[in-house]
Structure 1
Amino acid sequence: MTISLATINRYPIKGLKAQSLESARLSSSKGLIGDRLFSLARGSAGYSLPHHIPPAAISILDLENEERLAKLEARYDDDNQTLQLLRSGQERPLAQARVDTPLGRSLISQFFADFLGDSRRGLPRLIDSEEALAPSDWVSLINLASLSDIERVARQKLDPARLRANLWIEGARAWEERDWNGSRFRLGEAVLQVTAPLDCSSSANVNPREAQRDINLPLLMRKGFMHQQVGVQLTVLEGGRIQQGDRLLPFTQ
C-alpha cells in the first residue's frame, strides 16, 4: 500500500488558517520552517513593544478562545519576512507588512486591534511565539482515512483543516498511525520519528469555513472511539525538503 503526502500546511500565526504549500523544508531544530512563528497576545498596555511583554503578563489568542481568527489566513514570505493577512477565500491582502521591523509589526498589530476590538481586555499584539510558548521542533500528521472514520461516527463531513495538522497523508489504513509510536520514516529528503500521539483539542470544534463552533469533537472522540488521538507528532531526525506526493516510507538504518 502506497502512503503519500497529500497536503502541507504551515501556520505563520498561531490560530489563523493555514498557508498551504506545495513544498517545504523540515529542520531538526525548528520542525516545519515558518510554522507558528508568531502569536497574538493581549497584554499589559504599559509595554511599548511586543517583545517587551513578559510571558506571565500575556494571554495568547487562538481558536480555543477566539473563533473569529478562523476567518483569516496568514501567508509568510521567508525571503523578505513579509506577512500577508487575507480573508478566507480571497486573494487581495487585508494587511501586509515586513515583520522584521517595529513599524511592520505595529501595522499588523493595529490590524488585529481593529479586527478583534474589545480593548478592555488589552489590544492584541503580534509577538514571536518563542516569547510566550515553548519552541516547537516537531511536526503534526493526520491520516485522511482515520478522519473518514471520524466522519462516520459524527455523521457529517469534517474539514481536515479543523485538526490544524502540518501534514495530511492518504493511502494508509484507518487508524494505522496509532501503531506507529517510535517508528521512523523517510519523507522526501527528511527522516522523521513518531514520538507522541496528536490529541484532539477544542480548537477542532471551530468550523474553519464558518468561524463558528458547531461540534464538540473531543467529546465525540471519547464517546465513539474511547480516545482523542487524531494523528501523531513527529520529531525531525534529518532535515530536508518535502513536497506533495512524496511517499512515506519505513526507514531503517
Structure 2
Amino acid sequence: MSGHVTQLWRHPVKSHGREALGGVTLTRGQTLPWDRHWAVVHDSSKADGSEWVPCQNFSIGSKAPNLAAIDAKFDEATGQLTLTHPALGRLVFNPDTKGEQLIAWAGALIPQNRAQSERVVRAATQGFTDTSFPSISIMNAASHRDVESHLGGPLETERWRGNIWVDGFAPWEEFDWIGKRLSIGAAELEIKERVIRCKHTTASPKTGARDIDTLSLLNEGWGHQDFGVYAEVTRSGKVEIGDTVEAL
C-alpha cells in the first residue's frame, strides 16, 4: 500500500514555534534541516549544545504549555527567526547572536514554579529531538482522524509536533513499520520506534491553554499514549508535499 505526503514541519527552536514547509531535502543520518536546531536551556541545566542531551534540560511545552501557541518562520539566508504568539506579538531575532531577546520575550510563558529559561544553545552534532539518534518524526493522518473520532470533534494536527505527515494508510499502520524502511519522495527512512507522548499535546496550539486530555484519549481508546513514529534517514533526497510514500 502507498500513500502521500500531506504536511511538512520544522521547529527551529525546540518547543518555541513550528513552521510549515512545502519541501525539504533530507540528508542521510541527519535530522530534518533546522529542526530543533536550537533549544532554550533552563537555569537548572548545564547543557551547552556541544552534545545531545534529553529534553529535561530545556524549557519545553510539557512544563510550560503556553509555549505551544508560538508559530515560527526561519530565513535560512539571513539567519533571522520570526516568532509570533497571541499574547506576546512578534519577535524577529538571530538565535545565534541575540538569544537573550528570546529569553526576554518568552520568559513570561514559563510558570514560576518551574526552572526558568536562561540561554539559547545551538546543536553542534544533531538537532535536539527527543531521541539520542538523529530522528525525524512521521505522523499518520488516518491515526489522527481515529483520535478525532474517539474525541468526538476536531483536533489540531500541530499538537503532535510531527515533521512529516502521510495519508493513504490504515489507522495505526505506522506501528507496523518499525524495523522497516519507508520511501518518501526521493528519500528513504528506517522506522525505529514509537513516539511516546507527553503533556505538551494537551495544550492548544492556538492559545497555549491545556484544553484536551490527549493522553487519556490515547490510553482509553488504544491502551497506550503513543502517536507517530521516529525514523532515521538512510537515503538522502528531496521530499515535497504530495510525494508518494511507500513501505518497503
TM class by shorter-chain length? 0.7 to 0.9
- Root-mean-square deviation (Å): 3.2
Aligned length: 242
Structure 2 counterpart of 1:108 = 102
Where in structure 1 do 4 or more consecutive aligned residues deviate above 3 Å? 113-124, 129-136
The equivalent of 1:96 in structure 2 is 92
Tell me, yes or no, if structure 1 residue 7 matches structure 2 residue 3: no
Is contact 1:139–1:233 with CA below 8 Å preserved after alignment?
Answer: yes
Instruction: Mark the structure with the bigger radius of gyration.
Output: 1
The alpha-carbon distance between structure 1 residues 120 and 162, as it changes in their structure 2 partners (threshold 3 A), is closer
Q: Is the 8 A contact 1:96 1:108 kept in 2?
A: no
CA-CA distance at 1:72 after TM superposition: 1.6
> How far apart, CA to CA, are the structure 2 residues paired with 1:176 and 1:115?
37
Determine which structure has the larger helix proportion and give its number: 1
**Distance in 2 between the 1:116 and 1:176 partners?**
37
Q: Quick one: distance in 1 between partners of 2:165 and 2:135?
A: 15
Correspondence list, 1:176-191, <5 A = 176-191=173-188
Q: 1:149 to 1:178 in 2, by over 3 A?
A: same
When normalised by structure 1's length, the TM-score is 0.83
Q: Give SS of 2:100's match.
A: helix
Corresponding position: 1:248 with 2:242: no
Consecutive unaligned residues in structure 2, runs of 5 or more: none
Q: Is the 8 A contact 1:139 1:166 kept in 2?
A: yes
User: Residues 85-118 of structure 1: CA distance to partner in whole angstroms, max 9, x if unpaired?
Assistant: 1236x9xx722122333xx223333323366585
Q: Which consecutive residues of structure 1, in runs of 5 or more, have no partner in the other structure?
A: none
1:172 aligns with 2:166: no
Q: 1:16 aligned to 2:16?
A: yes
TM-score normalised by length of structure 2: 0.84
- Aligned residue runs from structure 1 range 227-246, under 5 A: 227-246=224-243
Q: Which of 104, 128, 138 is equivalent to 2:135? A: 138
Deviates more, 1:112-121 or 1:157-166: 112-121
- Flag the 1:153–1:138 CA change in 2: closer, same or farther, 3 A: same
CA contact (8 A) 1:117 1:123 kept: no
1:34 aligns with: 34
| Cα distance change, pair 100–155 in 1 and its aligned pair in 2 (3 A) | same
SS of residue paired to 1:39:
strand
